[in-house]
Structure 1
Amino acid sequence: MGLISSAQMDPLESEGGSQKSNNKPKYSKFTQQELPACKPLLTPGIVVATFLLIGIIFVPIGLASLSASQEIVELVDRYDTNCVSTPDKVGFIQNTDTDKTCTRTLTVPKHMKSPIQIYYQIGDFYQNHRRYVKSRSDKQLRYKNAVHLTKDCDPEGNTVDGAPIIPCGLIAWSLFNDTYTISVNKKAIEVNKKDIAWKSDKTDKFGSDIYPSNFQKGSLIGGAKLNESIPLSKQEDLIVWMRTAALPTFRKLYGRIETDIMANDQLTVVIQNNYNTYSFGGSKALVLSTTSWIGGKNNFIGVAYLTIGGLCIFLAVGFVVLLYMVKPRTLGDPSYLSWNRDTPDRPN
């Protein structure tokens, strides 16, 4: 019978006894934290170089982002207060016999290159409210055999006769239904409403064989009706609306203008002011905006990058002045050790 050398034994077993008897875990460099590791020493030079590198990277990004944002042309026209002809705004919007047509005239300040995005902006509307967000049936929207799954959609789950509403829930029921017709210099232009929804939403979240059924007919002002001959996967206004917003003031894409609009052109917008934001004190606005490589107008990104980059450069310069000019000191100099210092009792 051969003998096992100590080099062939598990390091934990070599300390005495078997692994089974002393309940020691199986030896592993990972569990014993013996894997090779990089432990950089943060010397003043490394700290200065790190701050300087971050500043050099962030400042150009900030300048480019801010410049791109400033080049975007954006028109915002709040119309909810001007498109009501009576002091009783709620009564006006709820009266189905009242003409809701409103005409707005806008002047384009700068040349707007196509495509021009058209958004509707709603304020003080909490789409992120827990009850509102949960009032939908994702399975019903996607699968034909799940049209009766409406238990999460109350109070808009079923009709008074018990028939399922498709699509069900408060989100679909409150679908935005204002409409915009736009003319440039008294010449009507087409608004392209295709491909305004995310492709993944159209293919993965809404079924191509699911059709609206028992949905409201638009009799309640404040919620749009749906075409029952078009499947949900092609009703892009609904798909855009069903992607709920995180903040109380939000914009959703309404359509696109595929032609350029010149500076000082007169835009005439005929609005059907149907959506009821007056009951909860909300606001409505029409937004026309060009885009750039960073998306829509957003100065915050550029300002944030410039702020962080400038702060890092300032800290780098501060460290250089402090450590190399004001109070220079050699890192790890053994002369600073207590036993190497000159003392009255012990000569050097």
Structure 2
Amino acid sequence: MDTSNSAASANKATLQTPKYPNQVTGMYILARALRTVGITNMYGLVGIPVTDFAYIAQEQGIRFAGFHHEQNAGMAAATHGYLTKTPGVLLTVSSLGFLNGLTATANATVNCYPMIQISGSSEREPIDLEQGTYEGLDQLSIAKPLVKAAYRVNKPEDIPTAVVRAYRAAISGRPGGVYLDITTPCLGAIMNMADAEKLFYKPVDLVPAMVPSEESVKRAVELISSAKKPVFLIGKGAAYAQVENKVKQLVESTGIPFYPMSMAKGLMPDNHPLSAISCRSTIMQQADVVVLIGARLNWLLSRGHGKWNSDTKFVQLDIDPQEIDINRPIAAPVIGDLDSSLTAILSQLGNHKTSM
């Protein structure tokens, strides 16, 4: 046997072996994009077409908590968002799984919890033409009226941008639920890894401070300082913003009593000397100035009517200007994030003590 010819043939074969670039799917890109913005936990129930995505997400360091029902998983994701001030992520399958999860996402929107629901969906063409396809539900159209924002992704190249937009929408301004619709062709699409790596970027300043105007702070301070029977109403927004130290400083530096709403329990002790937790009706009937700190003047407060004194004036600290004047005229709206608003008010209010 001519070993030299055999070796030459082997070398030739080796040289002619084709080389292919490393390739990844849209599922990998989605997992990497979530991890890049800081997502480390995900809740849901897997199935077609997102099962492999859940495995890939775990490989990227995202912890996946599986549930027996999407609504329970969604409530967990919403609670995660409320407690951490970062979006809780819910993963569902298409159609009925999507609908089960949407209940929680809509609830997160109404109650101001940052949350992102990611659902796989069927290919667009047979859905748009109503030709009958596997779980052919137009999920984006259903979700849009019920959530803060909704986006559909059809190409893997758009996944990182969609994830960043969903994240910003969930936590910016008044937090809420966001729906991210990822089509099956997008999840299964293949890209060269080198090209995919160019898509990822770490977003800058995801939660910028929203500082209130000096004029609004001055107006609020003047109204509080002139009050005879003022009271602070502390709401869920204060609990979410985690501003308990500044709330405590405001209460104790002014000597103004406070009343915590149910979701703000724990920010201040119930047995604090300035706690008005036992005299809610008295507050409604006698307070001449009420300062709403991250609290809505909604059904929990009789929408400002009923037992409320018709002459009561309101100061409202809120991040959303659309919340102002919804039930009673607000004499001094302060629009900004609560940390910035409380800091500004404390700096101007000084050590004013109420005369009540």
What TM-score bracket applies, with the shorter chain setting the length? Answer: under 0.3
Bigger fraction of residues in helix: 2
Larger CA Rg, structure 1 vs 2: 1
Higher relative contact order (CA 8 A, sep 6+): 1
| TM-score for the superposition, normalised by structure 1 | 0.19
| TM-score for the superposition, normalised by structure 2 | 0.19
